[in-house]
Structure 1
Amino acid sequence: MVPLPDRAAALLESLGAPSRLTAHLHVVHDVACHLLDWLEVRYPSVAVDREAVQFGAATHDIGKVLYPAELSSPGAQHEWAGHQLLLEHGVEERLARFARTHASWTEPGIELEDLLVSLADKIWKAKRVPDLENLVVDRLPGEPWEVFLALDEVLDRLAVDAHWRIAHQSS
């Protein structure tokens, strides 16, 4: 598993993040790194802020330190709270935004980086979201059906390890 960015790991530790949250952020970050590697090889002409995606995946649910009930139950209070928490800890907007955008990929102004964090947050547990996947396809160059097939292949490959990621988060 790819280690969390140092800055994200230090922030989670300083906030006393529950181990379940840290494990979740770790698996989503790992999936995001695999998506970035695939994108770099398959679509080298596509410019992506790799640092932002990695930090965003590693901190997208950080607001759950303030709303721990949302670790095991649905809820969206952690999104804006996490964004604000990151800003208060000196994290710049380009990195903090993922806390509020990871569940709202249809909002105006959403970038490919936001979509990649959202996608990693779904595929880590083998959840496929066609609307989200289509938004990613629309941002990549090439014939849409070829892009879709390529994305589908990498997502299927990542989904195979979902059972391991779920067990890791639960442990």
Structure 2
Amino acid sequence: MQSVPHPENQNQQPETDNSLKNKEAHQLIEDLSARSDKDIMGHEAVRILRLLWPEIFRVSSPRPLKIGIDKDILATGLIPDRLLKIGLRCFTRLDQYLEATRTGRARIGLDGQSDGRVRLDEAVNADLMLYSRWCRQNPPRAFIGQLKLVKTTPENS
């Protein structure tokens, strides 16, 4: 037996994936707006950016962002300034983002189009950040040839 659609349901359109993501983003914004800056984790703010602009804020394969994209995002009025700052700070400090910041690589604007290129000094700064992280995570090891022997004297024993 086939079901007959009700006339009042014919005009209703199913919610699109984008509208569900926007609702989720707005709910997150409401939840995070009630917290202080210290209580907001960076990945929560990045999640809002990823829900609103998934093609721009890709974590697995990020592209360098346009310089001044923060002003473009604020102009949309979709996200408060403090959440935007937290989210951009977290996103642009990801290892994947820093690795993607290479000299001459195109920067992406909010519209998805390329907008400028990465300069040499920006790429060097990204490499320095990655190197300093690597040095903190991999402290130098002492090798046997580098160890100093302590001689015992009658006073020490």
User: When the two structures are superposed, what TM-score results if normalisation uses the length of structure 2?
Assistant: 0.30
Higher strand share: 2
Higher helix share: 1
User: When the two structures are superposed, what TM-score results if normalisation uses the length of structure 1?
Assistant: 0.29
Structure number with the bigger relative contact order (C-alpha 8 A, sep ≥ 6) is 1
Q: Is the radius of gyration larger for structure 1 or structure 2?
A: 2
